[in-house]
Amino acid sequence: MENKKITIFDATLRDGSHAVKHQLDLSTIEAYCKGIDNSGVDAVFVGHGNGLGASSIQIGLSKHTDEEMLTTAKKALVHTPLGIYMIPGFGTIQDQLIPAIEWGADIFKVGAHCTEADVLKEHIEFLKNKDKDVYGVLMSTHMAENNRLLEEAKKIESYGADGIVFMDSAGALLPDKVQDLVRLVKQNTKLKIGYHGHNNLGMAVGNTLVALNAGAEIIDGTLMGFGAGAGNCQIEAIVAILQRMGMAKNINLYQIMDVAENIIEKKLKYTQGIKEVSIISGIAGVFSAFKEKVFEAAKIYDIDPRDIFMELGKRKVVGGQEDMIIDVAINLKQKKKEEAENYMVESLL
Amino acid sequence: MEKVKVGIIGSGNIGCDLLVKVTQSPYLQCSLFMGRNLDSKGMQFAQKMGITVTDKSIQALDENPSLCDIVFDATTASAHAKHFEILKKHGIYSIDLTPSLIGKMCVPVINGKECLKEPDVNMITCGGQATLPIVNAVCNIEKEIDYIEIAASISSNSAGPGTRANIDEFTQTTKLALKNFSNVANTKAIIILNPAEPPIMMHNTIYFSIKNPDMTAIEQTVKETEEKMRHYIKGYRVIKGPVLQNNILIVMVQVKGAGDYLPQYSGNLDIITSSAVKLAEMYAMEKKYGK
């Protein structure tokens, strides 16, 4: 593994959007991009937490438009490519991808729930026709068996994507599954494989390392783990590990640490740690980014946010279905009057 | 009394569900079921029901236009552009279930009557049929709405290859229809596919950004709209709301299908076929019986 080139996608300004309810301001984006530029990371992804076009009541309205965020970032990134993420169903070619190309995006990730890769066909093909670097993303990979994930990966390959990124959106994956999945896809496709971990169960950095050992070559993480739920694979930590192993030598570790400290810690006051609700979302297998909306509904309807997460897990909701939080909250409120059910105990049985 | 003759182009799931609904209608009969392959599942199904089928698609109708008064197009947007030229030439009423957006956008409970005068009518999208009646009703009461958004979740099983390949059209078309039927400039549509087993029912959430709404009047109109919808889609239910949360008015609608040709969880397909058949019945009543 020593001489392997590891690609690092920095999703701080995209996934981190969830951590601040999509209120990142332009001065932060500018300062961050100036700081991270030329540090050795391979692309900086910018935009709403659920990707371009996802600013909505359903998920959360952005403080700034996609255009404002991307043009600000593009101006500040002199050496490092600018990346965008988009989920079809939220964004479209016409309203998001064509403008993003104009605003200077260089690298494109398009994502779908892990069993629905065929919705990515028209977007991947469109971007490949424009000669762009395109990665297909499968979200919430804990919700399907590895054989099924391989089928979806093959579809993404057949559409012409350069690579695939597996997202552990709920931070629910355990190392064995990560290892088997990456090996399986490595053996059966020519795709470059990326891994995007979440830290609900404290596994983000560990699982990323497992993925790399099994054949992945792209790390999709954030500085300080700034992101949805309990946060992401922390780039500084995984880079430090890789450098100890003799890899990722092109990354200026001190530079990215300084950006983490000055922007994420001091300016945005982000503190790390796995809160109980994030652990619950990991056990329930529910997308981490539901956290803020769950807290909001728990407050309005005076119920325990942990109960909401467990119930959402039972309903097998997928990323984007934030409206189900209100649906569940209203049901729980009614149920609370009738009986006190302990979801926690039930889930451990 | 003589039933009005209806043709169906496209022998996929939508075409077959339309066929079942047409055969149940007191005003309509299917006189021609048009596809390309006599061995396909849909064509076999139609033949077993004793329906006249053709593998020459619309060409069969072009050669013998008196076979149909109304045609449902359940093919693709690009195919509809060609089909409509032929239907127009023969004066056949065209009800388009593709996202082509060539004809006037139609939601039967809102503008069905106006649409009877058009040569070609577009049924928008399933998310549109499920949410626009409520959107329109609320907008008739509240004039100061800043923004409308809908999120439609459907089961993966009920999203066929067409829906998947055209997810952008769904999003764009629904957004445009929300604007057209509300007079609110700023609208958004979201679609989510959920693969959970057992399959989920179609679930729609409608959000209105609004200050100080008249909740009593809104509750009343939502209830009336739900009742109107249930005349032709029995499984149409307002399951939550209207509730007001931080200046956001929320209404949630679940659509359970009739289970005619498609499973009950395919409420998303059922609502668009039911709406199309409802419009055809309105057309039949007016043109043939002058009602």
Tens digit of each residue's pLDDT (9 = 90 or more) over A189-212: 999 999 999 999 999 999 999 999
What pLDDT shows up at residue B101? 85
Any CB–CB contact under 8 A between A142 and chain B?
no
What pLDDT shows up at residue A339? 56
Question: Can you spell out the DSSP letters for A193-233?
Answer: EEEE-B-TTS-HHHHHHHHHHHT--EEEEBGGG-SSTT-B-
What token pair was written down for B4?
A: 């009005």
| Mean pLDDT, residues A236-243 taken together | 90
> Is pLDDT of A272 > 80?
no
Say how far apart CA A328 and CA B196 lie, in whole Å. Answer: 16
What pLDDT shows up at residue B44? 93
Q: Contact at 8 Å (CB) between A256 and A49?
A: no
Phi, psi values for residue B109, rounded to 5°: -70, -20
Say how far apart CA A199 and CA A52 lie, in whole Å. Answer: 24
| Options 3.30.750.210, 3.40.50.150, 3.40.47.10, 3.30.360.10; CATH of B126-264 | 3.30.360.10
Q: Is B106 a catalytic residue?
A: no
Residue that is written with structure tokens 């449902």 in the block: B72
Residue percentage of chain A with pLDDT more than 90 = 79
- In terms of Cβ atoms closer than 10 Å to its own Cβ (0-12, 13-18, 19+), residue B28 is buried
| Mean pLDDT, residues A296-309 taken together | 91
- Give how far B196 is from chain A: nearest CA, Å: 6
Enumerate domains of chain A plus CATH numbers.
7-267 (3.20.20.70), 276-348 (1.10.8.60)
Distance from CA of residue A162 to its chain's centroid? 18
Contact B252 A323 (CB under 8 A): yes
Contact A121 B196 (CB under 8 A): no
What pLDDT shows up at residue A240? 87
Say how far apart CA A293 and CA A310 lie, in whole Å. Answer: 14
Residue A89 gets the label, from left (phi > 0), alpha (psi -120 to 50) or beta, of left
Residue that is written with structure tokens 């407050």 in the block: A299
User: In the beta sheet, which residues pair with residue B210?
Assistant: B145
Say how far apart CA A86 and CA A109 lie, in whole Å. Answer: 6
pLDDT in tens, B80-134: 999 999 999 999 999 999 888 899 999 999 999 999 999 999 999 999 999 999 9
Picking from A81, A167, A64, the residue whose alpha carbon sits closest to that of residue A117 is: A167
Phi, psi values for residue B249, rounded to 5°: -90, 130
Which of A300, A323, A327 best tests the B interface by mutation, with the highest count of B CBs <10 A? A323
Order of strands, edge to edge, in the sheet holding B248-255? B187-194, B145-155, B202-210, B248-255, B236-245
Is the alpha carbon torsion for A289, A291, A113, B153 positive or negative?
Answer: negative
Any CB–CB contact under 8 A between A150 and chain B?
no
Q: Contact at 8 Å (CB) between B277 and B18?
A: yes
Position A341 confidence tier, pLDDT thresholds 50, 70, 90: very low
CB–CB contacts below 8 A, A to B: 102
Contact A58 B171 (CB under 8 A): no
| Mean pLDDT, residues A64-73 taken together | 97
Q: State the span(s) of chain B assigned CATH 3.40.50.720.
A: 4-124+270-289
Distances (CA, A) of B77 to B60, B162, B184: 20, 10, 26
To which CATH superfamily is domain B4-124+270-289 assigned?
NAD(P)-binding Rossmann-like Domain (3.40.50.720)
A24: Cβ contacts below 8 Å, ≥ 6 apart: A13, A16, A17, A63, A64, A69
Q: What is the set of active-site residues of A? A: 18
pLDDT in tens, A22-35: 999 999 999 999 99
Residue that is written with structure tokens 């947007």 in the block: B77
B200: Cβ contacts below 8 Å, ≥ 6 apart: A315, B153, B154, B155, B194, B265
What pLDDT shows up at residue B53? 87
Q: What angle do CA A313, A319, A321 make, to 5 degrees?
A: 80
A152: Cβ contacts below 8 Å, ≥ 6 apart: A114, A115, A116, A117, A138, A144
Contact B149 A56 (CB under 8 A): yes
Q: Which residues of chain B have pLDDT under 70?
A: 1, 289-291
Say what the ipTM of the complex is.
0.84
Q: State the span(s) of chain B assigned CATH 3.30.360.10.
A: 126-264
Count of C-beta atoms within a 10 Å radius of residue A197:
30
Contact B192 A92 (CB under 8 A): no
Contacting residues of A for B170, CB less than 8 Å apart: 89
Say how far apart CA A255 and CA A343 lie, in whole Å. Answer: 45
Any CB–CB contact under 8 A between A316 and chain B?
yes
What pLDDT shows up at residue A2? 58
Picking from B285, B264, B235, the residue whose alpha carbon sits closest to that of residue B17 is: B264
User: In the beta sheet, which residues pair with residue B120?
Assistant: B94
Name the residue among A89, A143, A324 with its Cβ closest to that of B171: A89
Contact A93 B168 (CB under 8 A): yes
User: In the beta sheet, which residues pair with residue A13?
Assistant: A46
- Give how far B154 is from chain A: nearest CA, Å: 10
Please name the residue of chain B whose CA is at the shortest distance from the CA of residue A50: B190
What pLDDT shows up at residue A343? 44
Picking from A53, A132, A62, A55, the residue whose alpha carbon sits closest to that of residue A86 is: A53
Q: Where are the strands (E) in B156-282, listed by range?
A: 187-194, 202-210, 236-245, 248-255
Contact A116 B195 (CB under 8 A): yes
Say how far apart CA A257 and CA A13 lie, in whole Å. Answer: 15
Residue that is written with structure tokens 């499984």 in the block: B235
Mean pLDDT, all residues of chain A: 92
Position A220 confidence tier, pLDDT thresholds 50, 70, 90: very high
